[in-house]
Structure 1
Amino acid sequence: MLTYQSSQDISITPTKGQDKPWLLLLLCCFWLIPGLVGHDPWKPDENVSMAIISYFMRHSDWTVASIAGVPQFSQAPLYFWVATLFVNALSWFGVAAHDAARLSTGFWMAVGLWGVGLAGRELFGRRNGRLSVVILLGCLGLPLWGHHISPAVVLLAGFAWYVYALALALKQPLRAGVLLACVFIVLLTGASWADALFAVLFAIFLFVFPQWRKFSYLITLITAILIAIPIAALWGYSLKANSSELFQTWWRYYAWGPFGGARSFAVGTSVGFLPTLLIWFAWPALPLAAWSVYLFRKELWQPHWQLLISALFFKSLFIMLATQQSEALVLPLLVPLVLLASGGVDELRRGAAAALNWFSLVTLGLAALVIWLIWIGLVTGMPLTLVDYFARFSPADVHWKGWGFVFALLVTLVWGRVLFRKQPLGRRALTNWTSGLTLVIGLLVGLFQTWIDVGKSYRPVAESLSAFMDGKHAQCIDVSTIAKDPTAALVYFTDLALDARPDNECLFVIRQTASKESATPEVLWSGHRLGDQKEIFSLYRR
């Protein structure tokens, strides 16, 4: 059995009338929905993702996308395929392409939360699945990526279902085999070969433990691999059939994801990146996971602890050895941390639970109050020093009218109601933390999303350049010297002929500087994002 039954199960399990799973669904909706719609693509990755999606929207061949003539191999295309399907479907209802793509992120997040919930229930028993979801939603590193147009969320969802499939393997090998096959397909077509190989090798590693050394588990793995590899290989075959040169580029430099490719394969040595990031990125799961391991240190030989601790160790090693360090790479690590944390919450000492509860109320409640006070100050125009300070970041006005204000008021009232729910102290502390974090997210989105959007969007730059080039759209513009993000934004927001290849022969060229240049006859056009004077784009004729 992989299911652990807490010694407090009898005292904490509610009666059927008290069991309200819809409250968890409501929390998930309040966490997921804000920020998915209503604003342009933002830095750092959303513009690049939208440029790739817009390429798929305009072309019938979905094998590989390009941005301004440069093929994109940094991530396998599954996320972009699904996002494009969302864009095409929701365009019938007038939903903007970037909003529809962001809704596909919400879809992957929902799939990931579902997988974590199932894994928590399978590993630690009834209602621990809900607790696992609450802890995951409360992790500080998740909100940005859970509302971002980025393929990183595919890796999180895939790893959540991967852990669930392994947890299920000893009891239902056939069902687990099908789930593992789906996970391998997702990783091969939505992440990288390195992620997929890690999943296969770790599943094989579990044979080290006697409890996993079963013939049924072997059949599960073989079945999953045999199903997944032929299906996932279709994309590689399509790429090779499309262009042998592009296939060789992908294989040599990108196939192994954060480790490079077959020719450029390299192992990193930055061991300090992960511990430094996890201190805040995985809060509060990290300290709770450490408590669970300490509390059940005499039971770590059981299969569910073997699975989670081994997954945590080897995934951490995988991240530290990668040459391309990023927050997105750390997202899957939240899954074993959250599941480990859920195992010890009901055994949390009363003093520690009370401290966490008090910290949640004070910290996030105070943050919400500050957000409300800043918003009131910007709406009323008082004090002037506050208005002048925030005007440096965005020239947009802040209004009290609109659905954003209504949503901010609603989420504040719901948060106040949640504080009075009766739960065991440990669960109440985590619920209050996640609800408070959801409140802060909801207030920032409801009250300040438009204000933030004006300062972060490249739309004014793209529209200004497009207006200047009116009548000259067929003329090629060299964008090889500017950063990838603004290049992608120009691709998405305009239909100009842009070329990012270094050997192009375009008549015009855009250069990026940190300060505005003096007006000269050579500068045909100049633009920048509103509220940003440190990223200036200038157009020249060669």
Structure 2
Amino acid sequence: MKPVRLPAAATLALPRWALIGLGLLYILPGLIGRDPWKDDAGSFGVMWTMAHGGLNDWLLPNIAGLPSAGEGPLAFWLGALGIKLFGWFIGDLGGARVSTAAFFLLGVSSLWFTAFHLGRRAEAQPLRLAFGGQPEPTDYGRTLADTAVLIYIGCLGLLLQSHETLAVTVQGALLSYFMYRAVRYVELPSVRNAGLIGLSLGLLTLTRGWLCPAGAVIALVGCARYLDMPMRQTLRHMAIAVLAGLLITLVWVVPAEIVQPWGRSPVAMWLAWNASQIGLPSAASLTTLLRTGLWFSWPAWPFAFWAIYAWRRQSRLLHIVLPLFLLAALGLLVLFNPEPENGDLLKLLAPLALMAAFGLPTMKRGTINAIDWFSVMVLTMIAGLIWMFYIAKLTGWPAQLAKNVLKLVPGFQPQFGLGAFIVAAAVTVSWFFLVHWRISRRPSVLWRAVVLSSGGLILLWVLLMTLFLPDLNYGKSYEIVAHQIADKLPDGVDCIETNVGPAQRASFAYFGHLPFAGLEQKHCSVVLIQDSVNVRDTRELDKRFRDSSLSLLWEGRRPSDRNERFRLYRRGE
């Protein structure tokens, strides 16, 4: 017997304007007005270098001369294209982030249509009620689609990563699109649908290598085998998909190998990076998958595992089998990655959110109400604390709160921003209206269990990206340091040798327009060293920069970083 019994009243769709409004409130804060921070400055640096460079920069991704061809060029191409098209109007940083917003929309819309199609299938429908009144398949599909999106944007990990110009963000959106195309293929196996799967495979390969698309194809073949689809036909279609993906990949591979920018092979660097992404499970991979994954994918994973349990007595359910096979294949890629990053977990969120949407209708009313009240109390309390810290930093009262918040950004002078205050206040009032609607109306709609948690998370993000954005930019950006270095550069300097990391190099090139040495490996008269405050003198530097003729021009660091230090030297003649 199916585990879902719902009346039609529980499947009223979320108004389109409300869903679109939540999406805009989610993605726009954090894209507007935010400087490149350490986590995504390196990726932006590649896009900026491409947009202001030549063919070699587009074929060999680099950050002002520092090669960065490991992941693949697609995410950087799209960011650079955004700079070319929109940089004149909204600035280079805003232009690069146009692609970030576009791929967020691609991921969310792909997930919506995936859940919608699966929700209309006969095996997913609720039990028919004795006297009628059960929901129509289309209504049920729309409700599940809305629920899946709300769960997806409610995941903590997506909130942290989706606002950054990273290749993993593009990969997560493309995997959501692959999942949609896989559902359409299972519904109608055809050469056309196989070709569209190949499109997603090719784009995934150009984004972050071939391992992820390979795992996705294996998962789809396993799903087809489990569903008793004709295997000969499936394998033929998957061969077409892989061929299409390969042809798309050759759009970059062939020119890169022919041109060999700066005498280097970007494809060899890319293949070496791919090989480094697979190995034996390590303590780092286990920690990332199990411990980090628990908060990263909250609250999707409890609903998803409940869905597996609730639908366990049914067989050959596409809405469980497909995301479960994808989750297993992609989870193994994280497990067998010797040094995975938190962003690698993004690939798991869309399958988890999809399964979670089908688990929610099977939960008891008491459990759903408990989730509601937990969201209201915890998120409202955190929002209240954010407002208290904001008032404290501006007024100095309460004194202890003001001290705690300002010690994180030493030297920062808080100022009142009217526009930011109005936006934060409006979103806070909207939150209380949402809570009042939930308490006074007591709606029976299915998505009521997740609209409060998603809305509350958006509230907290908007408050941070308005009330505390200047503080965060001051503490996480390298803009101040870049200007200080630029002011201390001697006249006529043609290049700078350095050991700074990708994020620092990108920030200094963008904010300070520092002329770093390119891939030609010039010998420069100025050296910029990144080290620790524990390094006492030049004798402890990297061997490349040990030179008795070095004379110190400047020394400094970000006020919020107590360990990192930068020193600018001039070489003697």
Distance 2:353 2:536 in 1: 54
1:525 aligned to which of 533, 554, 557 = 554
Q: Does 1:153 align with 2:169?
A: yes
Tell me whether 169-178 or 413-422 shows the greater mean CA deviation: 169-178
Does the CA contact (< 8 Å) of 2:44 and 2:165 recur in 1? Answer: yes
SS at match of 2:187: coil
Q: Give the corresponding residue for 1:41.
A: 36
Q: Give the corresponding residue for 1:232.
A: 249
Q: Does 1:110 align with 2:82?
A: no
Q: Give the corresponding residue for 2:512.
A: 494
Show the 5 A alignment for 1:273-312: 273-312=288-327
Tell me whether 326-335 or 188-197 shows the greater mean CA deviation: 188-197
Letter in 2 for 1:41: P
Letter in 1 for 2:328: F
Q: Give the corresponding residue for 2:5.
A: 7
Q: Does 1:32 align with 2:30?
A: no
Q: Give the corresponding residue for 2:368.
A: 353
Distance 1:60 1:245 in 2: 12
Show the 5 A alignment for 1:175-324: 176-213=193-230, 217-218=234-235, 220-243=237-260, 248=265, 250-251=267-268, 253-255=269-271, 257=273, 259-260=275-276, 266-269=279-282, 270-324=285-339
Letter in 2 for 1:510: L
Q: 1:176 to 1:413 in 2, by over 3 A?
A: farther
Distance 1:158 1:491 in 2: 30
Q: 1:328 to 1:461 in 2, by over 3 A?
A: same
Does the CA contact (< 8 Å) of 2:478 and 2:504 recur in 1? Answer: yes
- Identity across the alignment (%): 26
Distance 2:14 2:478 in 1: 47
Residue 503 (structure 1) shift:
6.9
Distance 2:355 2:232 in 1: 27
Tell me whether 204-213 or 128-137 shows the greater mean CA deviation: 204-213
Deviations 1:381-426 (A, max 9, x none): 2133332332222233333332111110111122122221453375
Residue 129 (structure 1) shift:
1.0
2:392 aligned to which of 374, 377, 381 = 377
Residue 304 (structure 1) shift:
2.8
Q: Does 1:132 align with 2:129?
A: no
Q: Give the corresponding residue for 2:50.
A: 56
Show the 5 A alignment for 1:472-511: 472-474=492-494, 476-480=495-499, 482-499=500-517, 505-511=523-529
Q: Give the corresponding residue for 1:20.
A: 15
Distance 1:99 1:287 in 2: 36
* Structure 2 gap ranges (5+): 121-140, 539-549
Does the CA contact (< 8 Å) of 2:496 and 2:528 recur in 1? Answer: yes
2:180 aligned to which of 147, 164, 170 = 164
Show the 5 A alignment for 1:385-396: 385-394=400-409, 395-396=411-412
SS at match of 1:407: helix
Letter in 2 for 1:131: T
* Structure 1 gap ranges (5+): none
Residue 132 (structure 1) shift:
0.5
2:79 aligned to which of 66, 79, 83 = 83
Letter in 2 for 1:74: G
SS at match of 2:461: helix
Deviations 1:404-455 (A, max 9, x none): 1111011112212222145337521211000000000010111110121112
Distance 2:388 2:466 in 1: 14
Q: Give the corresponding residue for 1:66.
A: 62
Distance 1:402 1:505 in 2: 50
Q: Does 1:327 align with 2:347?
A: no
Letter in 2 for 1:396: F
Distance 2:146 2:96 in 1: 27
Q: 1:367 to 1:83 in 2, by over 3 A?
A: same
Distance 1:176 1:277 in 2: 35
Q: TM-score, normalised by structure 2?
A: 0.86
1:415 aligned to which of 431, 440, 449 = 431
Q: 1:512 to 1:227 in 2, by over 3 A?
A: closer
Q: TM-score, normalised by structure 1?
A: 0.91
Residue 505 (structure 1) shift:
2.8
Q: 1:539 to 1:238 in 2, by over 3 A?
A: same
Q: 1:201 to 1:257 in 2, by over 3 A?
A: farther
Tell me whether 418-427 or 517-526 shows the greater mean CA deviation: 517-526
Deviations 1:16-38 (A, max 9, x none): xx752221111111111111010
Does the CA contact (< 8 Å) of 1:43 and 1:485 recur in 2? Answer: yes
Q: Does 1:401 align with 2:397?
A: no
Q: 1:275 to 1:508 in 2, by over 3 A?
A: same
Residue 217 (structure 1) shift:
4.1
Distance 1:36 1:540 in 2: 36
1:430 aligned to which of 450, 456, 470 = 450
Q: 1:525 to 1:500 in 2, by over 3 A?
A: farther
SS at match of 2:228: helix
SS at match of 1:52: helix
Q: Give the corresponding residue for 1:338.
A: 353
SS at match of 1:525: strand
Residue 117 (structure 1) shift:
0.7
1:456 aligned to which of 476, 483, 505 = 476
SS at match of 1:467: helix
Letter in 2 for 1:473: V
Does the CA contact (< 8 Å) of 1:191 and 1:257 recur in 2? Answer: no
Letter in 2 for 1:76: G
Q: 1:524 to 1:238 in 2, by over 3 A?
A: same
Does the CA contact (< 8 Å) of 2:49 and 2:64 recur in 1? Answer: no
